[in-house]
Structure 1
Amino acid sequence: MSFNIGLSGLYAANKQLDVTGNNIANSATTGFKASRAEFADIYSASKLGTGSKTIGSGVNLAAVSQNFGQGAVNNTGNLLDMGIQGSGFFVLSDNGSLSYTRAGTFKADKDGFVTSSDGTARLQGYGVDANGNIVNGVLTDLRIDTSNLAPKATGSVDSTINLNSNAAVIDQTANPFDPSKAESYTKSFSTTVYDTQGNPHPMDQYMVKTGANTWKAYTLIDGRNPDGSAVSGDGAKAPVASIMQFDSAGGLTSVTTPNPVAGEPDIVSNTLTVSTWMPGAMVNGKWASNGAAAKDTGIAIDMAKTTQYNTDTSRNPPTQDGYATGQINNLTIDGSGVMFANFSNNQSRAIGQISLASFTNEQGLQPVGGTAWKETYASGVAGYDAPKVGSLGAIQSNSLEDSNVNLTSELVDLIKAQSNYQANAKTISTQSTIMQTIIQMT
């Protein structure tokens, strides 16, 4: 029996050396999780139990468990390198066969799909709809779309304006508005707007103080009236102004926009709506000549933030929702795993979101090599969600998670395993010496 006990000890010590050696060998493997050998003693017993003087029968290897603790996440400078700060696993699909990993060494293949470092499996996540909104729920192969961003016609303009309450009143009877004459208006502001093909057009607003607490706003696009008519020369039409009224405290009370339909009431609100022309509405207009058009609902200019205080007439930088065609410049990935494409027109658009998997029992996962695991009955079914949701960790792009192997502890374990092996070998050697003595006595 002592020989068997010693042999089981040798086997256990050898397995401990194997596990420790594997940890040391993978101390520089990205996303690797250290393992440990767990042992259990052996007792021979009948169904009715054991006596109080039962001697053990040795040891066996009960399990090899992994430590899924966090490894250090260090910057690499490579965009598609990703580390998880917290719990969760990246999801990879190899023709529908899912595996899970903490090694975020990804790259893009020739078709733009984000794959594992060996190119055999594709990173899984959530796609986007036509408006760039993340579509949660269904996993899909993540792909970096390098196509141009289509232009968008301007539909709204928002700005903060102050009109000097002490500005001189302009008599429009004696000095009618003329954009070519600076003395016919108080101040002008220019905003670039875009048509349906992404062509830029200057939209000029001319502010004229016509009375106490009363201002007029003339709006020209490409130097023409919003309907496409010229303001001078053949076929000229007089510019139409919106009227702004302020209270005694300098706050805007109303913006009255003349209705283009005869007999209809004027529009009173804090939004100045500029109706712009469509293709074919004019012969020589810029927008119609190249087949482009303005937004069919016109351009809504929000005037609600306009004030009339005793300070210089000025405007903060305006914002408008149109833009020209954009070419992709670079890609960024935020902590929630959303992949943003940044374009040359200063726009950005989500092109996908990385999904992470979690398991009720991580120890039940089956290692399959390549720093990856497979789902098993013991691990439970994988749960998928976006990073930073619930207990899932955050994504750190341009970074990789190092192995969580502690080399100092592993070297100490190596010495202990070696000592255990030697001690068990000594047990067998001692038993052999005793048996030789007994044989010599006979």
Structure 2
Amino acid sequence: MPFNTALSGLNAASLDLQTTGNNIANANTVGFKKSRTEFAEVFANNVFGSGKATPGSGVRVTEVAQNFSQGNLDFTENALDLAISGRGFFALTDNPDGQPTAFSRNGAFQLDKEGRIVNDQGKYLFGFRKDFSQGALQVETAKGQPQASDDVKLNVNLNAADTTPINAFDPTDPTTYNQASSVTVYDSLGNPHTITSYFVSQNPTTANSWDVHQYIDGTTDTLGSTTLAYDTNGTLVSVDGDTTTTEVNYAPYAIDGAEDLAITYNFAGSTQFNSDFSVNSVSQNGFAAGDFTGLEINDKGVLFARFSNGNAEKLGQIALARFQNEQGLSKLGNTMWGESSLSGERLMGVPGENNLGTIQSGALESSNVDLSKQLVQLITAQQSYQANAETISTENQVIQTLLNLR
């Protein structure tokens, strides 16, 4: 029996050494979670019951438990290097339209030839696509689609001291208008067009009133005209006599080969003070076609494709998984785990919600192994192994003594 007891100690210590050695070997493995060996006493009962003087029968390993504590974040310059700050796992699938089959904290991802996000083993990163379906996330690097302008916001200050020019308005003659301002807009094909607004004061004939003539692509094609009226405090009070709006909707302007350009001009915030003419702000909502310039992933796991036209297109959102019992996950290797009956069913969600961590793009989660502690544990396991070996050696000497009795 003493041999069996010592042998159980040797086996347990050997497994402890293996576990500690595995932790040390993976100290630099991205997303690795350290393990510890847990032991329990073996006690044999006989049919007559056990007495207080009955010794134990050795030790056994009950579990090699993993520690899923947070590892440090190592920052990189790759947008597809992803780290989870907090709870959760990346969900991985074997085919683009399949359900998750593995889960990992290793966020070292890359693009395959079709633009899908994959890990080193070729498994696809699972998430919520922009069409609201679920499956492998894909980065579309095609040229960004143009968007036609349909809204222009122009906030100006018009000089209250200006008066009506002597001659009738002529866009080709600067002496027939007081000020001018231009903005670039885009049609449905992404072609740029310039709209120039010419401001003509009606003072003193009509105090605090301005005519605005707007031409597109030069001085021959007019987009339309409107009249702005201000009160005695210099605040815009009406557009074309309508006191309920600051906007004017121009009739669609025909463009060869593209959709008609229908522009709404908004003069909200415009003023008339006795100061120089100024354009406080001008903006429009169209843009030309653009080239893919990069990928951005925010802390909620939302993927944005950035284009040279300044547009950002949402491509989808990373899904994270969590489990009621992380210790029950089955180990698949390659820093991946699988769902099991002990772990419970996966609970899927988006980063930052439902008790899930957030995403850090351009970073990787390093191993949570503390080398100094593991080296101490290695010494402890070694001593345990040597002590159990000494037990066998001592028992052997006792038996040899008995055999040598005459």
Aligned 8 A contact 2:237 2:243 in 1: no
- Does residue 141 in structure 1 map to residue 143 in structure 2? no
For 2:64, the equivalent position in structure 1 comes to: 64
For 1:244, the equivalent position in structure 2 comes to: 228
For 1:294, the equivalent position in structure 2 comes to: 260
- TM-score scaled by length of structure 2: 0.93
For 2:323, the equivalent position in structure 1 comes to: 359
* Cα deviation 1:198-219 (Å, max 9, x = unaligned): 1111001111110221111111
Q: Structure 1's 7 and 214: CA in aligned 2 closer, same or farther, altered over 3 A? A: same
Which aligned runs of 4 or more in structure 1 are off by greater than 6 angstroms? none
Aligned 8 A contact 1:154 1:294 in 2: no
The count of residues paired between Structure 1 and Structure 2 equals: 400
1:156-305 mapped onto 2 (5 Å cutoff): 156-166=151-161, 168-170=162-164, 174-211=166-203, 212-223=207-218, 230=221, 241-256=225-240, 269-278=245-254, 287-288=255-256, 291-295=257-261, 298-305=262-269
Task: Name which of 282, 289, 301 aligns with 1:337.
Answer: 301
Q: Shift in Å at residue 185 of structure 1? A: 1.2
For 1:40, the equivalent position in structure 2 comes to: 40
Q: Shift in Å at residue 440 of structure 1? A: 2.8
- Counterparts of 1:241 and 1:111 in 2: how far apart (Å)? 51
Aligned 8 A contact 1:153 1:294 in 2: no
For 2:21, the equivalent position in structure 1 comes to: 21
Paired amino acid for 2:260: A
Aligned 8 A contact 2:302 2:314 in 1: yes
Aligned 8 A contact 1:256 1:269 in 2: no
For 1:102, the equivalent position in structure 2 comes to: 105
TM-align CA RMSD: 1.9
Aligned 8 A contact 1:194 1:294 in 2: no
Among the aligned pairs, what percent are the same residue? Answer: 41
- Counterparts of 1:390 and 1:142 in 2: how far apart (Å)? 21
State the secondary structure of the residue aligned to 1:159.
strand
For 1:74, the equivalent position in structure 2 comes to: 74
State the secondary structure of the residue aligned to 2:159.
coil
State the secondary structure of the residue aligned to 1:409.
helix
* Cα deviation 1:176-200 (Å, max 9, x = unaligned): 1111111211111101011111111
For 2:150, the equivalent position in structure 1 comes to: 155
State the secondary structure of the residue aligned to 1:163.
strand
Q: Shift in Å at residue 353 of structure 1? A: 1.4
Q: Shift in Å at residue 240 of structure 1? A: 5.3
Aligned 8 A contact 1:40 1:60 in 2: yes
For 2:93, the equivalent position in structure 1 comes to: 93
Q: Structure 1's 215 and 92: CA in aligned 2 closer, same or farther, altered over 3 A? A: same
Aligned 8 A contact 1:256 1:268 in 2: no
1:361-440 mapped onto 2 (5 Å cutoff): 361-440=325-404
State the secondary structure of the residue aligned to 1:415.
helix
- Counterparts of 1:70 and 1:245 in 2: how far apart (Å)? 63
- Counterparts of 2:145 and 2:38 in 1: how far apart (Å)? 59
Aligned 8 A contact 1:71 1:403 in 2: yes
Gaps of 5+ in 1: 130-134, 232-238, 258-265, 279-286
State the secondary structure of the residue aligned to 2:248.
strand
